[in-house]
Amino acid sequence: MSNFGTYIGTDFLTKQLPKRDWVIENLLKERDCLLWVGQEKSGKTVLNFQAALCCMTTGHPFLDHFNIPQPRKVTYILLEGDLEESMDRVKRLAKSIDIDPNKFVFMFLPRLQLHKKEGQYGLWAMVKAIKQYDCHEVVVIDPLYRAFSGGMSDDTVTREVCANFDELKDALNCALIIIHHTHKKKFDIKGNAIKEGDDATFGSVWFKAWASQIVLQTFDQQTGLRAFYCTTQRSGEIIKECNLRLIQPDPLYFEIDKTERGINKELLIVELLQADTNTGLDAETIYTKLGISKGTFYTSIKPLLSQGIIKKLSEERPVKYCLVKK
């Protein structure tokens, strides 16, 4: 191999690179960049406090579901909000989930201004400070928009910011989690919120192209339902929608919502129809097998029908449903 990272063919086919282990299975690997995108009031900072400061430092499974193979040393860099409030939140989290105070460093900083020369000087000062504490297997930056000023849709600016994040990652040999916001919700002609996936990410497409994984965290202010799912995953399995319940105020923590209200009924209906090898299933068969109410079933199939995911085989009763073959 040359100094430019070039391999001759035989070396390229035979060389064994060091294995990268999971930090959180199917969510984050060593030296990966996870972009965690959340809607306003979805609780993305609290959820990442829980993941990084509680679960990663102890090896406790995230949300009692996602395995963390080994404890990690974490630096959490908060760029906005109130320091006293953040301390209070972490203390309330620690009442329900173990936390190892010897394995994390918390930094409360003003804007980094990573797109400017003075911001880059600040970046290397920050790297030096983080190395001093030897707590940098994982670094969290919360939120992205406070890391620079100017247009988040400006490709030139965002490309420079992403390059600086890469320099930070390489200098510390760490995994990065960047907390970010969505843009304002978009609605269809019937007034229903459009599910955009990673297109909900606010700002330049560079952010989406740069990240190894993208997680979208949602919050429906009318129903109070919260959830997250992977929109981009370059390693491991794509995480389907995972419904959440926020327990508050004291203790404070998120858990997976396993009640009927929290289970993704649309996904369950699709999975059941995928398993059907006959001529479709009628409504009573579906809601009986899934253990959900009749009303819940008819509410859940509306978006599946309107999006062309499932269809009615006929209007004859009992109406049968099947997946639309693509």
Query: In order of start, what are the domains of the chain with their CATH numbers?
Result: 18-256 (3.40.50.300), 265-323 (1.10.10.10)
Q: pLDDT averaged over the chain? A: 85
Look at the alpha carbons of 189, 190, 193, 199 in this order and tell me if their dihedral is positive or negative. negative
- Mean pLDDT along residues 247-252: 90
Spatial contact of 108 and 83, defined as CB atoms under 8 Å apart:
yes
Per-residue pLDDT of 290-324, as tens digits, reads 777 787 788 889 888 988 889 998 888 889 999 88
Both structure tokens of 70: 């080994």
* Residues in CB range of 281: below 8 A, 6 or more apart: 272, 273, 320, 321, 322
Span of 26-30, 33-37, 312-316 with lowest mean pLDDT: 312-316
Instruction: Quote the percentage of the chain above a pLDDT of 70.
Output: 87
The better pLDDT of the pair 26, 139 is held by 139
The arrangement of strands across the sheet holding 104-108 comes to: 104-108, 74-78, 138-142, 175-181, 33-38, 213-219, 226-233, 242-247, 253-256
Alpha-carbon distances, residue 97 vs 26, 36, 72, 293 (angstroms): 21, 21, 16, 34
The better pLDDT of the pair 138, 114 is held by 138
- Mean pLDDT along residues 184-213: 67
| CA 262/CA 244 separation, integer angstroms | 7
Instruction: Quote the percentage of the chain above a pLDDT of 90.
Output: 39
For residue 294, give the amino acid letter: K
Prior bond of 249 cis (ω within 30°): yes
| CA 47/CA 296 separation, integer angstroms | 28
